[in-house]
A = this chain, B = another copy of it.
């Protein structure tokens, strides 16, 4: 029993170390040696849990995906108006990208692995459903364009990811918070940037 608990902890430490390594160096650049060192685990223990780098990357993506799925479910459970839920979801995703290395790493890996599906698959279907509902309920200025608003959400999330990476590249921290920035940008876009709009 104690052995099993230890195995679970080792596995979790390896996934986190792999996420840090792959977030920083990418899939190709990541080395198993550095992952072992970061996790304080022997190469034998690593290969016991994950026989290939690809398996480890898969585990990182699943772990990051679980965070995103939890967020999507949480926003749905809150039951706020559909358009507001889209904002909550993307602001929450920006916060996850900023704070959770497994999420950031999963986003990067889905681009770099040969069979990688886009990380938008974890949340874009929910955004599309919410925007259709928002259109049906008259929450959109242009009811015919939930698809265009979904494209806006995808662009903004790419912006949030780029901002997170730029901040990390610049040594992290700084005075800006990506989730707050995303919230502010939505506020502008919901009500309109141009004077005399409306």
Measured CB to CB, the residues of A under 8 A from B are 28-29, 83, 111, 118, 138-143, 145, 148-149, 151-152, 154-163, 165-166, 169, 181-182, 184-185, 188-198
Can you tell how many copies of this chain the complex includes? 2
Chain B residues with Cβ under 8 A from A111's Cβ? Answer: 165, 169
Name the 3 nearest CB pairs between A and B, nearest first: A198-B198, A155-B159, A192-B192
Which B residues are in CB contact (< 8 Å) with A193? Answer: 83, 140-141, 149, 152, 189-190, 192
Sample of 13 more A-B contacts, CB < 8 Å, known A142-B188, A148-B188, A159-B159: A83-B193, A118-B166, A139-B195, A140-B193, A141-B195, A155-B159, A158-B161, A158-B163, A189-B192, A191-B194, A192-B192, A192-B198, A198-B198
